[in-house]
Amino acid sequence: MESKLQLHGFNNLTKSLSFNIYDICYAQTEEQREAYIDYIDEMYNAERLTQILTDVVKIVGANVLNIARQDYEPHGASVTMLIAEHELTNGEEPDNEESPGPLPDTIVAHLDKSHVTVHTYPESHPHDGVSTFRADIDVSTCGLISPLKVLNYLIHSFDSDVVTVDYRVRGFTRDVDGTKHYIDHDINSIQNYLTEDTQNAYQMIDVNVYQENLFHTKMMLKNFKLDNYVFGVNASDLDPQEAQSIEDRLRREMLEIFYSRNVE
């Protein structure tokens, strides 16, 4: 068992998790595109996002101090929560193990304080029928446990075709001997905080800068079923050539987002 780090004063490390999910669909007509965006606006309105972030706060064991939320016109929403430190009760130890956190139906864990935010961005291609919904979520904490423990919950809370995750530990804290510690937990890869079913469902790549405590993981869903991506129609009703053309456009959209570059 890893020995507990004896600190001099408060843990001054700041741990920041930035999590971006993309949901992609094909909406052929202007009416279908408007219906898709309306659906996304209703599915992920400020009230629903507030509930998701409230669950995130439960996972990190914090207390909500203030909530600011807004539904925007014509589309999109945002929620920001200021959260306060939660003291661990007698006998509880911080969970620093490099392992997956809880799923939505098993919210148990403890962490410290700062803020959580979410912003949504629905948009559509001007010509080829591809629409993309993006949600940006940031969890920033100061204290003992990494906010990576919320990843499982967040990935299962959204329909995620492409996911990008950035994690950074900033600052330093001192032990009782005065030695600086720039990170207080072992981490090899963000992937180790994901459950096996999630790892199997996504193609993933890492770009990590260990000496700077910077960790980056990109994820793209492996299985592609056209019925899950066409909005307002059934894939079986499409002409095979048209269906293939739509699939090609959707796959291109996913690849461009995954690799962060336009594909010719």
**Domain total of the chain:** 1
- Catalytic positions are 114, 119, 142
- pTM for the whole structure: 0.80
Residue 206, Ramachandran bin (φ over 0: left; ψ between -120 and 50: alpha; else beta): beta
In contact, 154 and 17? CB cutoff 8 Å: no
In a domain, 233, yes or no: no
**Residues contacting 34, CB < 8 A, separation 6+:** none
In a domain, 60, yes or no: yes
In a domain, 90, yes or no: no
What's the chain's average pLDDT?
Answer: 82
Position 1 pLDDT exceeds 60 = no
In a domain, 25, yes or no: yes
Position 82 pLDDT exceeds 90 = no
Position 261 pLDDT exceeds 50 = yes
In a domain, 32, yes or no: yes
Residue 123's pLDDT band (cuts 50, 70, 90): confident
Position 227 pLDDT exceeds 70 = yes
Residue 113's pLDDT band (cuts 50, 70, 90): low
Domain that holds residue 40: 12-85+108-225
